[in-house]
Amino acid sequence: MTKKDFLSNLGFIENPFQHTNADKESSIIDKYFIYPDYFEDVWGDPENPISNIIYAPRGGGKTAQRVMIEKRAVNFKEILTITYTEHDLSNFNSIDEVKLSYHLEYLNRLLLLAFFDKLSNLQEFEYKNEFSYSERQYLYKLCKIYLYNTPASFPKQAINSLKTITDRATEIWDRFKAPFSEIIKKISKEKGVEIDLSKVDIDEKIKSSHKDNFLNLRVFLERLGYSTIYILIDKVDEQSLTGNDPKASYKFISELLKDLELLETEGIAFKFFLWDELQQYCSKDARPDRVFSYQLEWKVSQIKEMLNKRLSAFSNNIIKDSFSLFSKKKSLGRVIIFSEFSPRDCIRICNRILSEQLKENPKSLKFEYHIVNKSIDMFSKEKVEEMFYNQNNLRYLSKTNSVSFTINDLVNNKVAGDAAAIRNVILPWTKSEVLKKIGLVKRKSKKAVNEYAFFDIRVARYACPSLDLNSFISKKIRRCVSEECKEFAYRDFDKKNYDCIKCNTLLIN
């Protein structure tokens, strides 16, 4: 049976778990998007836009929120959105070389393109009368600086950045293969003031005044009808020089975050969609009293709702309840908890289940219980190996056979030879915060020692390879019974009792 036939038998027109990036599904995302807390705060008041920061783990829905802001902005002719995600850092050897001037040069290019696109679309606008000779000359000088010799990668970047323009594209966007100087020449000719950029002279003062040019372009765009500009900054941790490094990712946009004059520019709002690992660095420089931040967090009910809407969107409303896909209802709960409440990881687990079900028993119209368990274990291993590359450290992790422990426990269990060696072993786990201190263990006639526990269920699962999944869940997982808390905890409950670390409620089965 082909995968297409298998999906069709289940009721799907396409694989609902194929993509985990909202950019890949921008045309359909509004059918399954779950509006998170603070979405309206992030959107704000377009008549008085303000900058802010949105933090979330990877796969936590940052890009989906950004895409939905883009889609909403299309309905407002006075709003220009600039999606700031595309970068060519090939001229830099280190992220430390990326300064504020890089960002402003890039943004000024995009603002200029937006200006001339808008000008081209304004049929009755008297450009020659509305902009003085000196203003027009200044604009042409900016074009000479920012658009005359653009990098080869820029046309594609511009198309991906100016979403609210490309949705109502005119022939200017169809001619991106032509030099921008020719496009500007055509538009200026249509407006009665033809200009050849090759003959424009520029002085060094204008060339180096990127911030002044940015602020002036905002005023010019406002005169064309754009009263509000949203600059949506996303994927800073996915660039060639930032990668998996939170500190490098922060350095990339740090000078933008620090510049309150820019962030508080009238009519402009910078929206930073950032990996939550950057928060530790941003908090030192960002001004929370003037640039508000929000945390994107998901509840069990929201993940279920997201899945239900997603299944409905990819099945033409045939499948509306995610429970109906599973032979046992508790399997869905397991998928959600092993996703660590990440929409992306939830989709990844479901895609793994889909593949394993197709391989083992494609005739089944439901995801079988043992296949779900197997897929969860496979995903957990895959996820942990993404977190920790060092094979020795992974070997130590699988030797712990505990979810909560002291350093002495690991020495006694022969994970490593002595306490010093154990501290080195657990350092990558504590540094990435999948392992945290949960309290002190008192000892007779000896100093109390720290007790640790894993705070990522996939890591906890990897640390207990001797248990099957059912035994692991039964012995190592509890959910706080307090209605105000409902926190999940991973501990060695088969060895002793623990209290909830958030509300101190005794954790019981």
Segment 432-477, tens digit of pLDDT: 899 999 999 888 878 889 999 999 999 999 999 999 999 999 999 9
- Report, as an integer, the average pLDDT of 16-35: 89
Identify the burial level of 184 via C-beta atoms within 10 angstroms of its C-beta, where 0-12 means exposed, 13-18 middle and 19 or more buried: buried
Where is pLDDT greater, at 430 or 1?
Answer: 430
Among 68-77, 174-183, 398-407, the least confident range:
174-183
Query: Cβ distance 272 to 298 under 8 Å?
Result: no
What local confidence, expressed as pLDDT, does residue 491 receive? 97
Domain parsing of the chain, residue ranges:
3-19+299-387, 37-295, 391-465
Q: Of 90-94, 133-137, 353-357, which one has max mean pLDDT?
A: 353-357
Q: How far is CA 426 from the centre of its chain?
A: 28
What local confidence, expressed as pLDDT, does residue 152 receive? 63
DSSP, collapsed to helix, strand or coil, labels residue 181 as helix
**CA distances (Å), origin 385, targets 6, 298, 481:** 30, 24, 32
Query: Could you identify the residue written with the tokens 């690991």?
Result: 410
pLDDT band at 169 (very low <50, low <70, confident <90, very high): very low
- Report, as an integer, the average pLDDT of 488-505: 93
The residues pairing with 449 across neighbouring beta strands, listed in sequence order, are 441
Where is pLDDT greater, at 121 or 368?
Answer: 368
| Gyration radius (Cα) of the chain, Å | 27
Does pLDDT of 203 surpass 80?
Answer: no
* pLDDT, averaged across the chain: 90
- Report, as an integer, the average pLDDT of 395-421: 93
pLDDT band at 43 (very low <50, low <70, confident <90, very high): very high
Segment 302-346, tens digit of pLDDT: 999 999 999 999 999 999 999 999 999 999 999 999 999 999 999
What local confidence, expressed as pLDDT, does residue 479 receive? 93
Where is pLDDT greater, at 168 or 187?
Answer: 187
Report the candidate in 434, 479, 454 with the shortest Cα–Cα distance to residue 334: 479
Query: Cβ distance 465 to 398 under 8 Å?
Result: yes
What sign has the CA pseudo-torsion 349, 354, 356, 357? positive
Among 109-118, 157-166, 301-310, 390-399, the least confident range:
157-166
What percent of the chain lies above the pLDDT cut of 90? Answer: 68
Where is pLDDT greater, at 178 or 62?
Answer: 62
Amino acid letter at 432?
Answer: S
Q: How far apart are CA 205 and CA 138, in angstroms?
A: 12
Q: How far is CA 156 from the centre of its chain?
A: 21
Among 13-22, 189-198, 453-462, 499-508, the least confident range:
189-198
Does pLDDT of 195 surpass 50?
Answer: yes
Identify the burial level of 446 via C-beta atoms within 10 angstroms of its C-beta, where 0-12 means exposed, 13-18 middle and 19 or more buried: exposed
Phi-psi region of 94 (alpha: psi -120 to 50; beta: other; left: phi over 0): beta
Segment 340-352, tens digit of pLDDT: 999 999 999 999 9
Quote the tokens at residue 466: 């001797």
Q: Which is it for strands 488-490 and 477-479: parallel, antiparallel or unpaired?
A: antiparallel
Does pLDDT of 167 surpass 50?
Answer: no
Quote the tokens at residue 94: 């280190």
What local confidence, expressed as pLDDT, does residue 63 receive? 93
Does pLDDT of 148 surpass 60?
Answer: yes
Q: Is CATH 3.40.50.300 the classification given to domain 391-465?
A: no
What local confidence, expressed as pLDDT, does residue 325 receive? 95
Q: How far apart are CA 71 and CA 29, in angstroms?
A: 10
Does pLDDT of 181 surpass 80?
Answer: no
Q: Which helix (H) or strand (E) holds 438?
A: strand 435-443
Q: How far apart are CA 377 and CA 358, in angstroms?
A: 17
CB atoms within 10 A of CB 176: 15
What local confidence, expressed as pLDDT, does residue 193 receive? 82
Identify the burial level of 22 via C-beta atoms within 10 angstroms of its C-beta, where 0-12 means exposed, 13-18 middle and 19 or more buried: buried
DSSP, collapsed to helix, strand or coil, labels residue 35 as coil
DSSP, collapsed to helix, strand or coil, labels residue 223 as helix
pTM over 0.85: yes
- Report, as an integer, the average pLDDT of 385-394: 92
Q: How far apart are CA 232 and CA 272, in angstroms?
A: 6
Where is pLDDT greater, at 415 or 157?
Answer: 415
Query: Cβ distance 264 to 290 under 8 Å?
Result: yes
Segment 253-300, tens digit of pLDDT: 999 999 999 999 999 999 999 999 999 888 887 777 888 999 999 999
What local confidence, expressed as pLDDT, does residue 165 receive? 63
